[in-house]
Chains A and B, each alone.
Chain A
Amino acid sequence: MNQQLTTTKKPDAHGPAPLSTRPGFGDWASKNRSILAPVGALIVMIIGFTIMSPEFLTVGNAVNILLDSSVLMILALASTIIILMGSIDLSIGSTLAICAFAGALLAQSTGDNNILLLVPIVGLICGLLNGLGVAFLGLPSFLVTLGSFFVYNGLADYFSGGQPVTLTSGGPLAWFSGTIGGVPVIALWAVVILVIVHLVFRYTRGGRYVYAIGGNEKTARLAGAPVRRVKVWAFAAAGTLAGIAALLQLAKLQSASPDMGAPYMLPAIAAVVMGGTPLTGGIGGALRTVIGVLVIAILSNGMVLAAIDPHLQDVVQGIVVVGAVAVTMQRRRADVVK
C-alpha cells in the first residue's frame, strides 16, 4: 500500500538518466526491500557475531570467509542462470563432485595442465545433458536435474570406488592458490567469474533471452527468440561454471571425495533466492546473488566461531534460509497483485 504511493516518485529517478536495463525492475520500494532485507540480515549477523566472538571481526577471519565462500559463489552463479530462466538445477553440487573426480583422476593420467581445460569440459557435458533433457524432451527441469543429481553422484562414487582421490602434484593448481595483496586467489577467481556472468547478463543477447524466458516463455518464442537453444546453452553454461568451481575446490582441498558436492545443493539455490531472484525467474541477477552467498558464508563462519553446537548450526541455517526466502516471495506476490 505504501509501496504504491512511493511509485509515483519514481519518474524523477529516471528522467533523462541512461536507460537502466536490469529486467524486471519492479517498483522502487519493493525492489529496495528485496535488497535491504538480505543486507539488513547481513548487518545484524555481523554485529551479533562480533559481540559473540572477538575473532569474528578480524582480517584473518575475513580472508577465511572469502576462501570459504568462493566455491559457493561460483555454484550460486551457475544456479542464478538457471533460476532466472524459471528452471532449477538440483545437479549443480553433483556436477561439482563428478568434475572434481574427473580432475583428480585425469591429473594422474594426462598430466596436471590438461585438467584446467578438461574439468570445465566435463562440467559442460553434464550441463548439456540436463539442457537437452529439459529443452527437447520437454521434461520439467526439477525432474531432469533430480535424476542427473543421482547419476552424476553415482558415477563419481563408481569411478572412485567410494574412496577419496588425492592430487599427487599440485602443479597447475598454483593458479588457484596463495594470495595477492592479502586476498586469496580463489576469491579473485570467483570475482572474475561474477563480473563475467554479470556482463553476459547485461550486455549479450543470450543474457536477455534468459530473462525473457523466465518472464514469459511463450512471448519470448512468439517474438522470435530461439527458446530451446537458449535453454540448452544456459544449462551447459551452468555446468561449465560447476566445472570451474570443481577446479577451485580441488586446489583448496588437494583431493576429491565422493560426498564433496552434497553440502552445496541447498545453499547454491538458497543463495540465489535469498539474494532476490525468485524461483519463478525473470527478475534478479548475478549481483543479487552475491548478497545471498555472503549471508550463508558469514552465518556458517560466525556460528563456528561462536561455538554453536554443530548440530544446531544446520537448524539455524535452515531457518534463516526459509525466513529469507519468505521475504523475497512476499515481494514477488506484491508484484503480482499490482
Chain B
Amino acid sequence: MQSLDLAHANVPLLELRALTKEFGPVRALDGVSFSVRAGEVVGLIGENGAGKSTLLNIISGTENATSGRVVVRGREVAFENYHQASTNGVYRVFQELALLPNLTVWENLFFGHENLLTKGGVIQRGAAIRRAEAILERFDHGWIDVRQPVGLLSFAVQQVIEILRAFALSELLGQEHPIILLDEPTAGLSSDEIHFLAETIEKVKANSAIVFVSHRLTELLEWSDTIVVMKDGAVVAQAAANELSEDRLHLLMVGRARNDQFYRENLQREPEDELLLEIAGLGDGDAFRDVSFQVRAGEIVGVAGVLGSGKSELGRAIYGEWPTTEGVLHLKGKELPRSYSARYTSGQRVGYITPERKDDGLLDTFSVAENISFARIASQKGMFLDLGLEARQADEYVKKLSIKTAGIGAPITSLSGGNQQKALIARWLARGVDLLILDNPTRGVDAGAKEQVYELLREIASTGVGILLISDDLLEVIGLSNRVIVMRDGAISDLVSAPVDAKPSESALVSRMV
C-alpha cells in the first residue's frame, strides 16, 4: 500500500480535502483544504477560535469531521483515536508535554508500542536502549542519556524528545516518513530554547512532513515553507513563507470590519478627573518592565499585545496575583505595598476577571446565586451570611444582565459560557468595585452574549468605575477603550487614544505590536 518513494514523487504525505466540522449551528471548520509534502513545514496560524485545534484534533483522530476527507500517504483515513493515528504515522506534539516524567527517555520514546520490542512477552531492554540511542544519535542528540528519567531534563530537551518520539515510533512501525503535528511547541520556551528547537526541526524536516501551529509569527515565518492562515474556521490565505511578513500575517488573521454598534461606541464617555490607578515603572524582571500608565474613573483602558507581550501578567500583577520587582502602584491616591494578595486588592474594591473561566473563574460546585454573592461575602465584616440579600442580589443581576438560567439556585455549570461570564461580572458588581480588571472577558463567548457583555461594560463605566481591558481581540480593545496601551515584548510600545470619532485601525495597532 505504501509507496516507498513518495518523498520523491510529488505526492503529498498529508492532504486535507474540504474538511468541515459543525457543532450544532456553529461551523468550527468550513471547507479546509491544504496539503503537506515530505520535507515541508506548513505553518498554521489564526486567532483563538479560528479552528486550528479542531483541525489538528480531526487529523490525529480525537474528533471526527462532519464532512470532507483526510488523506494520509495517498490513502483516505478516519482515525478513531490517537493510538490509531500514531500507528499510521501521524504524531502530535502537544503544547503541554505528553511525556511521562517518571519514565526514562527510552521508555518514553517507545511508549504505547512496547509490544514491538518484546520477545516472549518481555521487553528487550538492551535492544530498546540501543535503538533509542541510535535515533537520538541520528539527529545529533546522542549526548542525551536515554536511561535518564525524562523529568530531569529541561523543558526544551523534553520537547525535542517528544518530537523525536515520532521518529522512534515511525522507525519501529516501519513507516517511511512521519507526519508531525506541532501544537504551539514554542509557547513555554525561552529564546535560547526556541533556537535549540529550531535546529532540531531543521534536522528532522527532510525526513518528515510537519504542520506547525504557533502564535509567534517570527518563528512561524522562519521555520515554515508554506503558511496557511485560518479565520473563523476557513482558510483565508495560503502562501509561501518568503512572500509574507509579520504585518501582513496579522492583517490576514484579523481583517474584520469593526461594527461600532456592536461595541456601543455611542455610549463611550469622557473619563472623570479622579485618578483610580496610577502605575509608574512597574516590572517583574521577566514578563514586563517599565510599565507606566493611569486609569481614571469611568474610563476604559484597553491593553493590546500579542501572546507573550506580558499583558496578561501585567493584569495579574496589578491584582496581586503575580509578583513584581520594581515600580510603584497608587490606588485611589494610596501607595500599595511591594507585595500584596488578591484579598488585599479586592478589599480595596478592585475586581479581576480571569481569562480562564473554567480554571479559576467559576466556583463550579456553587449555584448561580452563590457565585454572584461570593466576592461580596468575602468582603463582608460580620460572620453571618445574609441569605436574603444573596437571593435579592442574584435576582437583580440575573434580570439586569439578562443571565439565562433556570433559576438563581441552578448550578453555575448549567449555564452557557456567555451567561457564566455575565455571572462572574455580576460577582464583582454585587461586591461593588471602583476598578475592574478584565482579561479576555469574551473568550469562548458567542457573538450575542459578547454584545451584552460590551453593553454591560459601558454601563459599568458610566457609573464611574474604571476598567482595564486586556484582550487578544483587537477589535474589542479598539471598540471599547478610551485609550489603548500597546505592549510589545514586555514594554509599552505605544499609547493610542481612541475617541469615538477617531478610533485607530487594527493595522495601526498591529504595527506597534510586532
A20-B409, A205-B383, A226-B343 as given contacts; A282 in contact with B414, CB under 8 Å: no
B407 touches A216 (CB 8 A): no
Cβ of A15 under 8 Å from chain B: yes
- Interface segment among B35-43, B142-150, B199-207, B362-370: the answer is B362-370
Chain B residues with CB under 8 A of A23:
363, 365-367, 370
- B406 x A10 contact (CB < 8 A): yes
Which one, B61-69, B87-95, B352-360, B470-478, is touching chain A?
B352-360
The verdict on A172 contacting chain B, using a C-beta distance below 8 Å, is no
Please pick, from B341, B367, B374, B394, the residue contacting A25 in the complex, using a CB distance under 8 A.
B367
A174 interfacial by beta-carbon distance below 8 Å? no
Cβ proximity bits A208-239 to B, threshold 8 Å, 1 near / 0 not: 11011011101111111110000000000000
In the complex, the answer to whether A206 meets B365 with C-beta atoms within 8 Å is: no
**Are A224 and B361 in contact (CB-based, < 8 A)?**
no
Which of B118-126, B290-298, B385-393, B454-462 lies at the interface with chain A? B385-393
Contacts known (A11-B407, A19-B391, A24-B365); A223 close to B427, Cβ less than 8 A: yes
**Contact across chains for A225 and B378 when beta carbons are under 8 A apart:** yes
Indicate whether B339 reaches chain A with its CB closer than 8 angstroms. no
The interface centre, meaning the residue of A21, A27, A204 with most chain B CB atoms within 10 A of its CB, is A21
Give Cα A14 to B394, complex, Å: 14
A161 at interface (Cβ–Cβ under 8 A)? Answer: no
Separation of A204 and B431 alpha carbons in the complex (Å): 17
Is A222 touching B384 in the complex (CB atoms < 8 A)?
A: no
Q: Is the CB of B361 within 8 A of A219?
A: yes
B464 on the A face (CB < 8 A): no
Residues of B within 8 A of A282 (CB): 365
Give the residue of B321, B369, B379, B406 whose beta carbon is less than 8 angstroms from that of A19.
B369
Q: In the complex, are the beta carbons of B380 and A205 less than 8 A apart?
A: yes
**Distance, CA A212 to CA B385, complexed state (A):** 14
Separation of A225 and B344 alpha carbons in the complex (Å): 10
Is A224 touching B407 in the complex (CB atoms < 8 A)?
no
Given A212-B366, A338-B413, decide whether A225 and B343 contact each other with a Cβ distance below 8 A. yes
Is A7's CB under 8 angstroms from B414's CB? yes
Question: Distance in Å from the Cβ of B147 to the closest Cβ of chain A?
Answer: 30
**B346, A25: Cβ atoms under 8 Å?**
no
Given A21-B370, A23-B367, A222 contacting B321 (CB threshold 8 A): yes
A215-B379 Cα distance, complex, nearest whole Å: 19
Question: For residue B365, which residues in chain A have a CB less than 8 angstroms away from its CB?
Answer: 23-24, 211, 214-216, 282-283
Q: Do the beta carbons of A224 and B362 come within 8 Å of each other?
A: no
**B375 sits at the interface (CB 8 A):** yes
Complex contact A215–B414 (CB within 8 A) = no
Give the distance in Å from the alpha carbon of A202 to the alpha carbon of B383 in the complex: 12
For B408, the closest partner residue in chain A by CB is A19
**In angstroms, how far is the closest chain B Cβ from the Cβ of A172?**
30
Other-chain contact of A203, B342, B385, B413 (Cβ < 8 Å) = B385
Interface hits, A2-55 → B, CB 8 Å: 7, 10-11, 14-15, 18-21, 23-27
Complex contact A212–B380 (CB within 8 A):
no
In the complex, B347 has a CB within 8 A of chain A: yes
Determine if B363 and A25 form an interchain contact, defined as CB atoms under 8 angstroms apart: no
Instruction: Write out the residue numbers on chain B whose beta carbons fall within 8 Å of the beta carbon of A215.
Output: 363-366
Q: Is the CB of A14 within 8 A of B406?
A: yes
Measured between beta carbons, the chain A residues less than 8 angstroms from B394 are 19
Contact between A27 and B391, CB atoms less than 8 A apart: no
B411 on interface, CB distance cutoff 8 Å: yes
Answer whether A26 and B378 are a contact pair too, CB < 8 Å, given A219-B361, A222-B321: no
Instruction: Report A-chain residues with C-beta under 8 Å of the C-beta of B352.
Output: 222
Given contacts A14-B407, A223-B374, contact A212 B363 (CB under 8 A): yes
Chain B residues within 8 Å of A226, by CB: 343, 378
A10 and B390: CB pair below 8 A? no
Q: Which residue of B lies closest to A207 (CB)?
A: B385
Give the CA-CA distance A208 to B321 in the complex, in Å. 23
Contact between A203 and B384, CB atoms less than 8 A apart: yes
Complex Cα gap A282–B365 (Å): 6
In the complex, what residues of B have CB within 8 A of residue A221's CB? 341-343
Shortest A163–chain B CB gap in Å is 44
Whether B362 pairs with A27 at a CB distance below 8 angstroms is: no
Query: Does B135 make an interface contact (CB < 8 A)?
Result: no
CB distance from B415 to the nearest CB of A (A): 12
CB neighbours (8 Å) of B410 from chain A are 10-11, 14
Q: Are A212's CB and B360's CB within 8 A?
A: no
Interface pair A224/B375, CB less than 8 Å apart: yes
* Chain A residues near B354 (CB-CB < 8 A): 222
Q: In the bound complex, do residue A205 and residue B377 qualify as a contact, i.e. CB atoms below 8 Å apart? A: yes
Q: In the complex the two chains form, is B360's CB within 8 Å of A219's CB?
A: yes
Q: How far is the CA of A117 from the CA of B206 in the complex (A)?
A: 78
**Chain A residues near B375 (CB-CB < 8 A):** 223-224
- Near A by CB (< 8 A), chain B positions 333-347 give 341-343, 346-347
* Chain B nearest CB, measured from A263 CB (Å): 32
Q: What's the minimum C-beta distance from B387 to chain A, rounded to whole angstroms?
A: 6
Question: Whose C-beta in chain A lies nearest to the C-beta of B387?
Answer: A21
Task: List, in ascending order, chain A residues with CB within 8 A of B385's CB.
Answer: 21, 202-205, 207-208
CB distance from B470 to the nearest CB of A (A): 15
How far is B395's CA from A18's CA once the two chains are assembled, in angstroms?
11
User: Which of A10, A18, A205 lies in contact with B391, CB distance below 8 A?
Assistant: A18
Residues of chain A within 8 A of B321, CB atoms compared: 222
By a CB distance below 8 angstroms, the chain A residues around B390 are: 19, 21
User: Chain B: which residue is nearest A206 at the CB level?
Assistant: B383
B362 in complex: contacting residue of A203, A209, A216, CB < 8 Å: A216
Residues of A contacting B408 in the complex (Cβ-Cβ under 8 angstroms): 19
- Kindly list chain B residues whose C-beta atoms are within 8 Å of the C-beta of A338: 413
Bound complex: CA A20 to CA B369 (Å):
9
Give Cα A26–Cα B362 distance, bound, in whole angstroms. 15
Q: Which residues on the B side are within 8 Å of A225 (C-beta)?
A: 343, 374, 378
A25, B384: Cβ atoms under 8 Å? Answer: no
Considering only CB atoms, which chain B residue lies closest to A27 in the complex?
B411
Find residues 318-336 in chain B having any chain A CB closer than 8 Å to their own CB. Answer: 319, 321
The B406-424 residues at the A interface (CB cut-off 8 A) are: 406-411, 413-414
Chain B nearest CB from A276 CB (Å) reads 13
Contact flag A25-B378 (CB < 8 Å), given A19-B369, A226-B343: no
Interface centre among A19, A26, A202, A223, by most chain B C-beta atoms within 10 angstroms, is A223
Contact A11 B406 (CB under 8 A): yes
B406-A220 in contact (CB<8A): no
Once the chains are docked, how many angstroms separate the CA of A208 from the CA of B382?
13
The answer for the CA separation of A26 and B365 in the assembled complex, in Å, is: 8
Smallest distance from the beta carbon of B323 to chain A beta carbons, Å?
Answer: 15
CB distance from B408 to the nearest CB of A (A): 6
Q: A23-B370, A223-B427 are in contact. List 20 more A-B contacts (CB 8 A).
A: A11-B407, A19-B367, A19-B409, A20-B367, A21-B387, A23-B365, A23-B366, A203-B384, A204-B383, A204-B385, A211-B366, A215-B365, A220-B374, A221-B341, A222-B319, A222-B342, A222-B361, A223-B346, A226-B343, A338-B413
A-B pairs, 5 with minimum CB distance:
A224-B346, A215-B365, A282-B365, A24-B365, A224-B378
21 A-B contacts, Cβ less than 8 Å apart? A11-B406, A19-B367, A19-B391, A21-B367, A21-B385, A23-B366, A23-B370, A202-B385, A204-B385, A205-B378, A205-B382, A205-B385, A209-B378, A212-B374, A215-B364, A218-B360, A219-B360, A219-B363, A225-B343, A225-B378, A338-B413
